[in-house]
Amino acid sequence: MKIAFLFPGQGSQAVGMGRALAESSAAAAAVWKKADEALGFSLSRLCFEGPADALELTANTQPAVLAASVAAAAALQERGIQPDLAAGHSLGEYSALVVTGALGFVDAVRLVRRRGEFMQEAVPVGTGAMAALLGLELPAAEQACTEAAQGEVVSVANMNSPGQIVIAGHKSAVERAVKVAAGLGAKKSMLLPVSAPFHCALMSPAADRLAAELESMAVQAPRVPVFRNVDAKATTRAEDVKPFLIRQVASPVRWTQCLEALAGAGATSWFEVGPGRVLTGLLKRTVDGARGHAVEDTESLEKATTALAGGAAA
């Protein structure tokens, strides 16, 4: 039996996240204390109490989701539950690298705060957009983007599960692609309430700035394979950590392929570690027979622990 930890990305945040585990787990509380000290302000108070509009700012959201995820992993590890394999969706890849020892937590929480700033500043507000295309397979989504581009940027940004594709780029091009997708058979298409067009070529300036931040950062080989967004292959060496984090900013998230690769590597027990249950839903639609357990508070931690002990976490 192999345990896979899946770490959520931006969009899973909610006021109150992490509070229950911080109150019940010394290991989780220690993570929040480190985050507050590293950033020089009370990230924990922002997450536990809000306000929501401040938590939604990308520069706050990214370290918040990272801290909540690493704290949840610490609570699992406190009970002797460790991953054999790991992956994270977009920002979640940083959580995976921290939990597997490739990145130091203090370095990572500071880095993703800067990453959020870089991604927000790469494109003027209102210039870019993202949209979800439902019921459309990848070749048709790519065709919609090609037909809609007309000299602007629009491309596949997230391959979340079979039939769920997210596109990103210039707002007008994304709007055109949504119309084209409808004609190609998409069941439903909608613009997403995001502040920037993540994981497309418009994020290249952010990738360049992130590269400069990463240059002096210490990295190590992860203790277990971390399946990366860019190509769904496993990072097992220290020298692969930085290049793929840089490429990730402006490249599509191949999450469907990541889940398939984890299953192919022998994952049988799946834990979504951190806020929300988005990845558990995507897992169910991607890997036949897989059942994930979300671990985000004390109740879900108890359920996941009991399920694993009973051999029912697959």
pLDDT at 313: 43
Distance of CA 260 to the CA centre of its chain: 16
pTM, whole model, 2 decimals? 0.96
pLDDT at 224: 98
DSSP state of 305: H
Classify residue 82 by burial, with Cβ atoms within 10 Å: 0-12, 13-18, 19+.
middle
Which candidate, 93, 104, 107, 98, places its Cα nearest to that of 248?
Answer: 93
**Which of left, alpha, beta for 205 (phi over 0: left; psi -120 to 50: alpha)?**
alpha
What is residue 282's three-state secondary structure?
helix
Q: Where are the alpha helices (DSSP H) in the chain?
A: 19-24, 26-39, 43-49, 52-55, 58-78, 92-99, 105-121, 138-149, 171-183, 204-214, 241-248, 255-264, 278-286, 298-309
pLDDT at 195: 84
Tokens of 157: 């940004």
Tokens of 310: 């009973």
Pairing of strands 267-273, 292-295: parallel
pLDDT at 314: 43
- Looking at the chain, the domain(s) classified CATH 3.30.70.250 span 128-194
Cα(110)–Cα(178) distance, integer angstroms: 36
pLDDT mean by block of 10 residues, the chain; 314 residues: 96 96 98 98 98 94 98 97 98 98 98 96 94 97 98 98 97 98 96 92 98 96 98 98 98 98 97 97 96 96 92 51
- Looking at the chain, the domain(s) classified CATH 3.40.366.10 span 2-122+202-309
pLDDT at 288: 96
**Four-way CATH pick for 128-194: 3.40.1390.10, 3.40.50.300, 1.10.3980.10, 3.30.70.250:** 3.30.70.250
Radius of gyration over every alpha carbon of the chain, rounded to an integer in angstroms: 19
The H or E element spanning position 17 is none
CATH number for the region 2-122+202-309 comes to 3.40.366.10
Task: Indicate which residues carry an active-site annotation.
Answer: 90, 199
Cα(285)–Cα(274) distance, integer angstroms: 20
Assess contact for 62 and 116: CB atoms under 8 A.
Answer: yes
pLDDT at 194: 87
